[in-house]
Structure 1
Amino acid sequence: MAAPTVDQDLCIGCGVCAELCPAVFELRDDKSWVIGPDQCHTCDCEEAVVSCPVSAIEIR
């Protein structure tokens, strides 16, 4: 099963992903972290990927 990942070097901590998928992403220390990689069924992780302004999120 594919799971989202966040490139910490690219992430600017804008929070869009956490707003779109709070069960999957969380902001900590001004960066996004994946907290529920198996929870994409509860939201639209693809939308989080395309909404990231710096393309820091991938689904692998």
Structure 2
Amino acid sequence: MKAIVDQEACIGCGLCPNICPEVYEMTDDDEKAIAIDEEIPEDKVDSAKEAADACPTDAIKVS
């Protein structure tokens, strides 16, 4: 599974890295979230999905 953050929809609230810092982080320049490029580690899939569900703008897709 991979996570994708829609940069247009992201408002930079910081919820996703707070919930799952192993998959999401905030960029330094525009303060939006990004996801790791590789597959989500098996033991982090549930928290990655939790972060996607918590996103107030539905900017994160995990599939």
Q: TM-score, normalised by structure 2?
A: 0.80
Structure 2 CA distance for partners of 1:34 and 1:26, relative to 1, 3 Å: same
Helix, strand or coil: the match of 1:47? helix
**Structure 2: runs of 5 or more not aligned:** none
Query: How large is the RMSD of aligned CA atoms in angstroms?
Result: 1.7
1:52 aligned to 37, 55, 62, which one?
55
Matched, 1:14 2:13: yes
Distance 2:18 2:12 in 1: 12
Q: TM-score, normalised by structure 1?
A: 0.84
Identity %: 37
Helix, strand or coil: the match of 1:44? helix
Distance 2:19 2:47 in 1: 7
What count of residue pairs does the alignment treat as equivalent? Answer: 59
Instruction: Give the drift of 1:34.
Output: 0.7
